Amino acid sequence: MKTGFRRWSATMIFVSATTSSIFQRLGLRGGGRTIDKVRRGTSVFAEAASSDNNGSSSSPPNFSTAAFVNLGYSSVYNIDDASSSSNSSSSRGIKVRPAFARRTLSTNGTDTDSDGDGKGDDDDDGGLVSECDYDYLVIGAGSGGIASARRAATYGAKVAVVENGRLGGTCVNVGCVPKKVMWNAASIAETLHDMKHYGFSGYDSDAISFDWSFIKQNRDKYITRLNSIYMRNLSNAKITSLPGLASFTSSSSPHAISVTVTPTNSDQPTTTTVTARHVLVATGGYPTMPEGPGMQHAISSDGFFDLNELPQKAVVLGAGYIAVELAGVLQALGTDTSLVVRKGKAMRTFDDMLSDTLDEEMLRQGIQIYRDTAGLERIDVDEDTNLKTVTLHNGEVITGVDTILVATGRSPLVEPLDLPSVGVMQQNGTGYILTDKLSATNVNGIYALGDVCGNVELTPMAIAAGRRLADRLFGGPAFEDAKISYDNVPTVVFSHPPIGTIGLTEKQAVQQYGEENIKIYRSKFANLYYGPWQVEPDDKPKTGMKLICAGKNELVVGLHAIGMGVDEMMQGFGIAIKMGATKADFDACVAIHPTASEEFVTMFPWGLSNQVTGAKVTPLNGADAAQPVL
């Protein structure tokens, strides 16, 4: 752990917002068929601190965010909870967005029939129907599922969620959140290794040590807390929780979809069948394992979070973001780490600048990379030492290994659902559910999103898709065409160093627009953090950045970066690219100095691109700032 230069040390550890706090930003509490409470909080943690176990609060609603800034706190839309007359919020008028008050609900929760057509005020356009147990049944309590369920509840829909595991799905339990905790720990280790370059001493003494069990225990407590917050959020929204495995079954009504829920806990009631007008499949995915002798001695990426001790020697199999992230964490914390890839390098689907730079930096960190292996052939275990020998298909052998982590891919978790029984179409060979741009399957009333569809498998993508689906189904005419875009989605890989990317790779841009219509801007430099280091310039870690522009207007169609801090700079650039920024727009933004991100707005040659903007209000040539429409 103490040899060589530890790369890409973070000068500050940023604590990213968890999926739960993202969900909490909606800030609405649905009450079954009625809405009894609307409250706004800065984050789920702030709310948890100010609320009792039932999520109640003595403070008045806070409508401080943009969505509510013009609504005030009055009784214009007075929605009472008849079943809770003692609730202070139900006895006061709560003003909510018109979309939430549009639907008029009868005492039994069905639509009123004010137009007298016998179909209810929502007619057949996704309206609430009394013949079903629920208006909306969500299978899977992960990021997309819970986001969609809670949004639907704010519109007055009767919602239930089926889940067989811990709430929060992959991201909260064995994905983004615990991974970022471990990445933070690894970044601290790298900073400690670098401290001698800033005049600090003591790294080589026994005063500094790392306790894996300590961070694991506190990380697990944090995840358990998030699980509890998810459960409280569902309860506050009056969403029914149905623990168990869900599977589709035939329905006697053309307007209802039947789902059987089979409990897996012996303390739970017997199997039940429920019906809903709309059903969302958001069950996520699971890690796949290769076949071969001794594979039972390997762990998946999920198993990484069950490790009770820091491995001494680990082999990580895989070439995707999960593999490089976990390999980087292990190496930084002191594990002798090897990365096994089937072909020439990891992250092959990313821009070559990113994958090549990452490859160089992993080697500098001491990670041994086995290339062109064609994968894992077998695992043998020494019965005396319990150490493992890894044999690869190309004949190479790795000995003395105590942990083998397989991160070679994931598959959609759809087998228990019995999708063929109701005719839901799936992709041949993969099992991914086929949907249209509105998250609808080929079966009326059944929808799918997130990892079960295989299209941009990212937590925020599933959240956005889930909310927009609920808007379209229950939000009324204003949202009848609501959908999300899967184009230009920014993403970050928490490797060491981190990667940020959005848009097309250079190869994709050339293929789509033609090489003659593409212009590339590149920069490679040592971050100022490494300035005081008294080492050869070539030995200092480098940051790589690339802008890919297309057409005469030099529209930015791809932005890629690798290096210290790029994980925290990508969100803003993502907004610019989603809005159609050009190279001239980037140049028109004055740099923030000294930062790494300023490189993107000072790419050579600066200010000489065609003066064409992608903005609705031009920022070019010293133009006045945009003004709000009042």
Which H or E element spans position 161?
A: strand 159-163
Rounded CA-CA distance 443/249 in Å is 13
> Of the listed 193, 393, 496, 593, which one is catalytic?
593
Question: At residue 36, what are phi and psi to the nearest 5 degrees?
Answer: -105, -5
22: helix, strand or coil: helix
Which H or E element spans position 170?
A: helix 169-174
Maximum CA extent, the chain: 82
Those residues whose C-beta lies under 8 Å from the C-beta of residue 623, and which sit 6 or more positions away, are: 617
Q: Which two tokens stand for residue 8?
A: 């890409």
Q: Which two tokens stand for residue 456?
A: 């941009």
Rounded CA-CA distance 171/231 in Å is 16
Rounded CA-CA distance 614/337 in Å is 46
Rounded CA-CA distance 235/241 in Å is 8
- As beta bridge partners, residue 240 has 160
Neighbours of 263 (CB within 10 A): 16
Rounded CA-CA distance 448/465 in Å is 10
In angstroms and rounded to an integer, the radius of gyration of the C-alpha atoms of the chain is 27
Rounded CA-CA distance 305/512 in Å is 41
Known catalytic residue at 193: no
Rounded CA-CA distance 483/326 in Å is 34
Which H or E element spans position 228?
A: helix 212-236
Q: Which two tokens stand for residue 375?
A: 């994968």
Q: Which two tokens stand for residue 601?
A: 């707005």
Supply the DSSP string of 501-561, one letter for each residue.
EEE--HHHHHHHH-GGGEEEEEEEEE-GGGTT--S-GGGS-EEEEEEEEETTTTEEEEEEE
Q: Which two tokens stand for residue 176?
A: 């983004």
Rounded CA-CA distance 193/118 in Å is 73
Q: Is the peptide bond before 178 cis (omega within 30 degrees of 0)?
A: no
Q: Which two tokens stand for residue 424?
A: 């839901």
Q: Which two tokens stand for residue 443?
A: 């079966």
Q: Are strands 272-281 and 159-163 parallel, antiparallel or unpaired?
A: unpaired
Residues taking part in catalysis? 593
